[in-house]
Chain A
Amino acid sequence: METVLLNLGPQHPSTHGVLRLVVELEGERVVNVEPVIGYLHRGFEKICENRRYIQITPLTDKLDYVASMSNNMAYVKAVEELLDLHPPQRAEFIRVIVLELQRIASHLLALGSIGNDLGMPFTLMMYTFREREKILDLFESLSGARLGYNYITIGGVMHDLPFGFPDHVLAFLKELDEKIEEYEDLIYENEIFIRRTEGVGVLKPNDAINLGATGPVLRGSGVKRDVRKEDPYSVYHMFDWKVVTGDKGDCLSRISVWIKEMKMSSEIVKQAIANLPAGNIREKVSRVIRPPEGETYSRIESPRGELGFHIVGDGSTNPYRLKIRSPAFCNLSVLPHIAKGVLIADLIAILGTLDPVFGEVDR
């Protein structure tokens, strides 16, 4: 049968941003798919070489723009490793609180948009955005911004928690726990949703590891790996929580990982708030940060997976080289391997569950 070459994107609502997919089709079956990326490339790594260390934090907000806190944290952690700086305990707890809230917000967005991809627009998205909005409101009270926070900073966090913040968070989490049950009903009880996602785009555990998938994509395949447990950073080792996994490696497993992770994040935030210590929120650092010569590679678990920063310092005020290992980039590279032989409508579902954010893929 003759194959047809189809260009999907770069401007198409189902590609989650400026992704172009060159799809080779045989009827409605996908024979081959090649992602073409780079439409949002801003030369981030080159820009960073001409910025001071402290000036880079607000830039990292624009990497994964739906989870800015995680980017701030990943960058700041790498610089702190270079400086051998240990932020105060209260700052670390606040960081964990905002990081986990950010994870919930990011997964809510992913969950909402997967509904759009599967042809059930607005229902799921309306509900998940209702909760996401509340997290954004909380972050606004915290940092003054709704998307690019620049909140986590070298040596600690920018501001202390505003008055009543922990109570607001706890009230929100109580509400969220009820709402998550609602989402579960909307997803697991919906036959159309199940039939569109179950058994579609199966990624086997060994392939997932070899292809470099991380985050919910890896855990959806049943591999119990999480940087927060594997290579603990901040104060994650002090909380009781488990790494959640899916079982089948298909789209539905990856979606179930999002839902389970939201519950787990909510648990972590509750524990962090219950044990929030008093004290300083920021270690004293000099105005001009000048790390010693050396290099480091540090990773955190962002909502999308393993987010790493490799920084080479040459003893000056600017980094000599800064490399971002973005999880969305690596997860997207899995797509050609698992999208062979699926229907074109399923291709969109698979792409939705890989959850790429193009600020981060293209950098």
Chain B
Amino acid sequence: MRKEGRNDDNEAEAGERKLTVDDISPAFPLIYEIVKKVDGMHIQTCNKIWVEVKRENLLDFCKFLKEHGFDHLSCVLGVDMKEYLEVVYHVWSYIDRRMISIKVKLPYDDPVVDSVTSIWKSADWHERETYDMFGIVFRNHPNLKRILLPDDFEGHPLRKDFKVEERGWY
């Protein structure tokens, strides 16, 4: 039995004021380079960093992360924000024990983004699912087709404008 006390002092601190880049730079010097490459940044806790990237820069940024030890793509998901679509990539570094969540905004009428399967193979099924549910097209994906829904399904059900057919009461 170890001594009590959580080791997330930073989390308590975050409640009082917003964390900045300088707060986490001693433990994570790479942050200065990341700041230069991204459009926006939100530091949730010391090891949860949300960044926003333009879709043209996504592949370069992902390659950069992979080179610096972010080797586990935990999850890829889409979000329909009504004005635009959003793809979120959660990338975890097994060495640094840090998560960077990359957000990419896509316009409704042209939801195309580069596939990251060449960097993390685990993106394969995640991207297929996102395509299935949101109709987001991943360029250069090896096998982009529906995964959970039948091939002849019409529409993309997790978009907010998808009408769910309601069953009547009998």
Contacts and interface: CB of A to CB of B under 8 A. Distances in A.
Contacts of A271: 1
Interface of B: 1-2, 4, 6-7, 15, 44, 47-48, 71-75, 77, 79-80, 88, 90, 94, 97, 99, 101, 120-122, 124-126, 133, 146-150, 157-158, 164
Nearest to B15: A84
A232 B7 CA distance: 10
B122 A211 contact: yes
B120 A210 contact: yes
A46 B164 contact: yes
Contact of B125 (A41, A231, A329): A329
Contacts of B47: 231
Contacts of B80: 321
Interface stretch (A168-176, A234-242, A279-287): A234-242
Contacts of A325: 74-75, 77, 90
A239 B4 CA distance: 10
Contacts of A231: 47, 97, 99
Contact of A297 (B4, B7, B97, B101): B101
A308 interface: yes
Interface in A13-61: 37-38, 41, 43, 45-46
Contacts of B150: 38
Contact of B90 (A225, A297, A329): A297
A323 interface: yes
A151 B146 CA distance: 35
A131 interface: no
Interface in A213-242: 223, 225, 230-232, 237-240
Contacts of B88: 297, 310
How big is chain A's contact interface, by range? 35 or more
Interface of A: 37-38, 41, 43, 45-46, 84, 209-212, 223, 225, 230-232, 237-240, 271, 274-275, 296-297, 299, 306, 308, 310, 312, 320-321, 323, 325, 329-330, 333, 337, 362-363
28 contacts: A38-B146, A38-B149, A43-B157, A46-B158, A209-B72, A210-B120, A211-B121, A212-B73, A212-B120, A212-B121, A212-B122, A223-B94, A237-B2, A238-B1, A271-B1, A275-B1, A297-B74, A297-B101, A306-B74, A308-B74, A310-B88, A312-B79, A321-B77, A321-B158, A323-B75, A325-B90, A330-B122, A333-B124
B71 to A, nearest CB: 5
Given A210-B120, A238-B1, A325-B75, A41 B90 contact: no
A230 B15 CA distance: 23
Contacts of B73: 212
Nearest to A310: B77
Given A45-B158, A329-B125, A330-B125, 20 more contacts: A37-B148, A38-B146, A38-B147, A38-B148, A38-B150, A209-B94, A210-B120, A212-B73, A212-B121, A230-B97, A231-B99, A237-B6, A271-B1, A297-B75, A297-B90, A306-B74, A330-B126, A333-B122, A333-B125, A362-B148
Contacts of A296: 44
A308 B90 contact: yes
Contacts of B79: 312, 320-321
B94 A230 contact: yes
A209 B71 contact: yes
B10 to A, nearest CB: 14
Contacts of A237: 2, 6-7
A304 to B, nearest CB: 14
A210 B94 contact: no
Question: A209, A297, A308: which has the most chain B beta carbons within 10 Å?
Answer: A297
Nearest to A361: B148
Nearest to A218: B72
B29 to A, nearest CB: 21
A232 B124 CA distance: 28
B157 A46 contact: yes
